[in-house]
Each structure stands twice: as C-alpha cells, then as structure tokens.
Amino acid sequence: MRIAVLVSGNGSNLQALIDAQHDKQLSGQIVGVLSNKADAYALRRAEDANIATAVISHQNFPNRESFDVAMHQQLLAWQVDLVILAGFMRILTPNFVSQWQGKMLNIHPSLLPFYKGMNTHQRVLNTGDRLHGCTVHFVTAELDAGQSIAQSVIQVSLQDTAESLAQRVHQLEHFIYPQVAQWLCNGQLTWENGQAYFNQKLLEKPIQFAQF
C-alpha cells in the first residue's frame, strides 16, 4: 500500500510512521509527504528518510476548493492508496474528502466524540475529566466526526498541565497511529459501504488500547 502523509508542522507522528516502516512494523510504503508550509520541520524528517516531498501553499490559491484540487493531483501523481493526516492544519473540503473516503486517517488528541476541535488538553483540565487520550478515525467532511477506529487512554493527574498532557498524549499517538495504519495495510481493517470492519466483523466501537 502506497502512503502519503499530510503535514503542517513538526511531524512527530510522521516520524513514528517512518520508524515503524524502518522497523518492518508498517508494511506499507510512505511514498510522499505533502505540506502546506515550506518551513515545516516534517519535510526535513521526510528528506532524511529519502521520501519524496511536495509543498503546496494554501496561500497561493483563491479558495479551499482549488487548493484541495492541487493536493488531490499530487496524491494521484504519487499513486497513493492511503492518506494519513499528521498535524495537517487545514480543514478539507467535502469534495476532497469524498474522493478519499475510507482511505484517509486522522488522529485527534481526545477521546472522541468528546472535545472535537482545538485546545483539547486545556479543555479537559477545565472540565475536570479524569480520563484523556487520543483517537484514530476515518476522515469525513464533518470535522473530527468520522468513525473512530482505535483509542488510547491516560489518567489525568492533579499535577497535569496542558503541556504535560500534550506530551503524554503524543506518546500514545506515536504508538497507536502506526498500528492502525498497519491494520489497513495488511487488510485487517477495511472500509465497506460507509462502515469500518475489523477482522471481517463490523467495528461497532473503537478498539481500546490499554491505559498508560
């Protein structure tokens, strides 16, 4: 399976995927890394791993639709089977999402459906929730609303800050994101008629990894 990773920043999740591929824990091949920002450190990570890169700046396009068309053309040029969003800070248009339905993953730093959107760690602290974590989900046109595939959970301590929670949740992300990508690559995870299946059974709720 040929994989493209979309990035906007540091790219720590990209690095986790690159490391998993290097360690033979990801059977797919990362064939390209695409960023909307030329100064994204993730691009250097890709270059260091001899992975093709492309920069398509959203600022060069009059609207989201034309920007997404340019991205779609690049993905087609790379002959991509799977798109992985790794800190890609652009909201995708419904048309773009529909073309990659069931073939595009995102990871979100909360236990969806709770805390969609931004600033999840501070919001968890503000509400006093004792559990937090991350969710890998299929991407749909509605933000952070696609079917959840897997989640990993941590307990929030009284000493936690937004920064410490972010660091702890990142560690979870780096573990479960390559795992879910591998499930797609080896056929354990499939998408059929708008539903996710795991080991040929309907996935009715996200797979829970052990608490850390």
Q: Which of 108, 132, 137, 174 is catalytic?
A: 108
Tokens of 89: 């800070």
Q: Is 13 annotated as contributing to ligand binding? A: yes
176 labelled ligand-binding: no
Q: What is the Cα–Cα distance from 120 to 125, expressed in whole angstroms?
A: 9
Is 90 flagged in the annotation as binding? yes
Closest by CA position to 208, among listed 184, 186, 185, 180: 180
Q: Is 89 annotated as a binding residue?
A: yes
Other CB atoms within 10 Å distance of the CB of residue 140: 19
Task: Please provide the DSSP assignment of 174-193 as one string.
Answer: HHHHHHHHHHHHTTSEEEET
Whether 58 sits among the annotated catalytic residues: the reply is no
Check whether 82 is labelled as a binding-site residue. Answer: no
Cα 70 to Cα 62: distance, rounded to the nearest angstrom: 12
- Is 11 annotated in some ligand binding site? yes
163: number of Cβ within 10 Å: 10
Establish whether 130 is an annotated binding residue.
no
Question: Residue ranges for the binding site for (6R)-10-formyltetrahydrofolate?
Answer: 64, 89-92, 106
Active site residues per annotation: 108
- Enumerate the known binding-site residues: 11-13, 64, 89-92, 106
